[in-house]
Amino acid sequence: MTRQAHELDHRIVGDDMQCVEITLDPGETVIAEAGTLMMMDEGIRMQTIFGNGDGREQSFMDKLWGAGKRVLTGESLFMTTYTNETTGRRTAWFAAAYPGKIMALDLRDFQGRLICQKDSFLCAAKGVTIGIAFRKRLGVGLFGGEGFIMQKLEGDGQVYIHAGGTTVQKDLAPDEMLRVDTGCLVAMTDQVDYDIEFVGGIRNTLFGGEGLFFATLKGPGHVWIQSLPFSRLADNIIAAAPKAGGKGKEEGSILGGIGRLLDGDN
């Protein structure tokens, strides 16, 4: 079956701080989230677009609807395309903002649709539609965090998603249930049923340290889980940062005091 989307060649570079090199043939285009570009060759035209990024002709209202759906996920109104306008091959490089792994996935292997967390999408071949996936249950909307409105990637092209830390993949059998921290869910196939479950118990709620809710994933389907969601990384950085009075999390520790003394803070 002929692929409708542009067919991209790629090379993933690095270990824990990965980037992806996309090689574009003449006339080929890659679409990406704002802020993910690392570098690009001369001869690649960068263009900011308004809409869902699939490259099809759309009316203004269709573009406005596509952009509005992206705003609901917390993303920018706009996306960026990178098109090779030369007669030779050119490369563009993309990277995520925090440590982790980049995965190259072909939507044809997943019945043309993947559901992913809003921060995980990096770039895709022109022809892939980047939209949102609504979940009907009210509980998911109120408490799901990253979960209620997730990004929906549709088409027959290659997509590149990023997961923080280490990535674990699981195949869920029919009716098999998996409970996941809401921030650790990276992506899932469209068949997976997703809901939110209250942790329960006053001690768990107040002292458990894992939040009030789990994401419950019910098979059949395939899921991708990350060990270091960006929200957790950001919380740890903020907790360790110096407070307004100049004291950090290490206050009271011998090393912290010596460190500030050597730095001239005392």
Mean pLDDT for 219-245 is 79
Residue 265 lies in a domain: no
Residue 20 lies in a domain: yes
Q: Whole-model pTM above 0.85?
A: no
HSE-CB for 7 with a 13 A CA cutoff: 4
Residue 201 lies in a domain: yes
Residue 154 lies in a domain: yes
Q: For residues 92 and 124, is the Cβ–Cβ distance under 8 A? A: no
Residue 116 lies in a domain: yes
Is pLDDT at 252 greater than 80 in this prediction? no
The domain total for the chain is 1
Domain residues for the domain of 152 are 9-236
Q: Between 10 and 258, where is the model more confident?
A: 10
Residue 258 lies in a domain: no
pLDDT digits (tens, 9 = 90+) for 168-194: 999 999 999 999 987 888 999 999 998
Residue 134 lies in a domain: yes
Average model confidence (pLDDT) across the chain: 78
Token code pair at residue 2: 């002929």
Q: Which residue has the tokens 């409970």?
A: 179
Beta strands in 69-199 (DSSP E): 78-84, 90-95, 100-106, 113-116, 121-125, 129-134, 149-154, 158-164, 167-172, 177-181, 185-189, 193-198
Residue 211 lies in a domain: yes
